[in-house]
Amino acid sequence: MPKKIITYVTFIAFLHMVGCYTYDQVNYSEFREMDVYSSIGDDIFLHTKDSLKYHMSKFAFNVKDDTLHFNGALVVGEQEIPNRGTIPVENIESIEILKADGTKTAIMIGGVTLALILIALASSHSKTEPKSNSSGCSGIDYSPKYY
């Protein structure tokens, strides 16, 4: 029984770590107000006014003198071409950031937890019911007993 409990708790903790994430689009001023290192995922997609899309890590850029200096990739179709460069802040149209969605994560963890509890109750209930091999005519259990 303790092994089952440890397995369930580990599984639920894993689901919490995986969580549900969504990409949110923010403008540059909203992005500057965020705590980038703790509130978002590792990936950042930056869209410029000239319709270019850049992919970078939250640790691979720096803003200095109204210019974003980055080490990332230029996204062309489905390909990413390694790129290092600068983008003036006024040329940034939007920024896509990966954020954890606490509501979806809580719903997912609650649903999985409820399912695991129901499965555990159903399996424990089926083990405790007495089984009879009798024909049911006399109500007496004629199955062999071993002592």
pLDDT tens track, the chain, 147 positions: 678 778 777 877 776 666 666 667 777 777 777 666 665 667 888 899 999 999 988 788 888 888 889 898 999 988 999 999 899 989 999 888 877 677 777 787 788 788 888 888 888 766 655 555 545 555 566 666 676
**Reduced DSSP (H G I as helix, E B as strand, rest coil) percent helix, strand, coil of the chain, to 5:** 40, 35, 25
Q: Can you tell me the distance from the alpha carbon of 42 to that of 99, in angstroms, rounded to the nearest whole number?
A: 9
Give φ, ψ of 59 to 5 degrees: -100, 0
Residues 6+ apart with CB under 8 A from 37: 58
CATH architecture designation of domain 21-99 = Roll (2.30)
Give φ, ψ of 80 to 5 degrees: -120, 120
The pTM of the full predicted model, rounded to 2 decimals, is 0.53
Beta bridge partners of 74: 54, 81
